[in-house]
Amino acid sequence: MTFSTTETLISPANKNLSQHLCTRRSIIPVRNDVLWRIDRGIVRTLTWTEEGTYITLGYWGSGDIVGYPLSNIKPYQIECLTSVETTMIPPHLWHEDIKALLCHIQQAEELLSILHQKPTSLKLWQFLVWLSEKFGRDLEQGRLIDLNVTHQDISEVLNTTRVTVTRLLQKFEEEGKILRHKRSIVLNLPPRLRGI
């Protein structure tokens, strides 16, 4: 794990806030008295069962706030999915990020709603659309999910098997709902759903 710290002036009102640079797959330290603002990159918050099964709690990107004070779940971990730049926000400044805190709640509820969809094919499709809205960018062919998630990662989020995710993604590809772009997925969405 690589986790480096640099002190940077954020704004006159905030004095010096500690900024951190993290490498892909590193773990951001969890503290009871700190929230982290993601300035660049993507992280996921997760926990795991006694048997060692991972449970993804959310995916977060630029502008999002994460940290143990937003959760009652133990264990709790923040894993970098890309290289990440974060800013440590102490408690006396949390009120300045109320919009990001509300967004955190809304995104967690959106994901929870998706996880309760049936059948699994609908759950997977809605999760892909959610990822494309949060981490996507438009291409001529559709909306690229600009996040490298494996079939195993997706299965952990959706509480299904990797084999099921692979089978459903192949079915979506055969139906023309998705395209493969290198190791990423492109959703074949109508232009109005892609903001075009």
How far separated are the first and last CA of the chain, in Å rounded?
40
DSSP of 114-150? HHT-SSHHHHHHHHHHHHHHHHEEE-SSSEEE-S---
Same domain? For 134 and 190 the reply is yes
Nearest-CA neighbor of 129 among 76, 192, 189, 59? 189
Q: What's the confidence (pLDDT) of residue 13?
A: 43
Q: What's the confidence (pLDDT) of residue 134?
A: 93
**Domain range holding 78?**
3-97
Q: Show pLDDT as tens, one digit a residue, over the chain (196 residues).
A: 445 443 333 443 445 678 889 998 899 988 889 999 999 999 999 999 999 888 899 999 999 999 999 998 999 999 999 999 999 999 999 988 889 999 999 999 999 999 999 999 999 999 999 999 999 999 888 899 988 888 998 998 999 999 999 999 999 999 999 998 778 899 998 755 545 4
Same domain? For 134 and 181 the reply is yes
Q: Residue 142 in contact with residue 179, Cβ under 8 Å?
A: yes
What's the predicted TM-score (pTM) here?
0.81
Does the residue 112 lie in any domain?
Answer: no
Same domain? For 16 and 55 the reply is yes
Per the structure, how many domains does the chain have?
2
Q: Encode 143-181 in three state secondary structure.
A: EEECCCCCHHHHHHHHCCCHHHHHHHHHHHHHCCCEEEE
Q: Residue 179 in contact with residue 188, Cβ under 8 Å?
A: yes
CATH code where residue 170 lies: 1.10.10.10
Q: What's the confidence (pLDDT) of residue 2?
A: 47
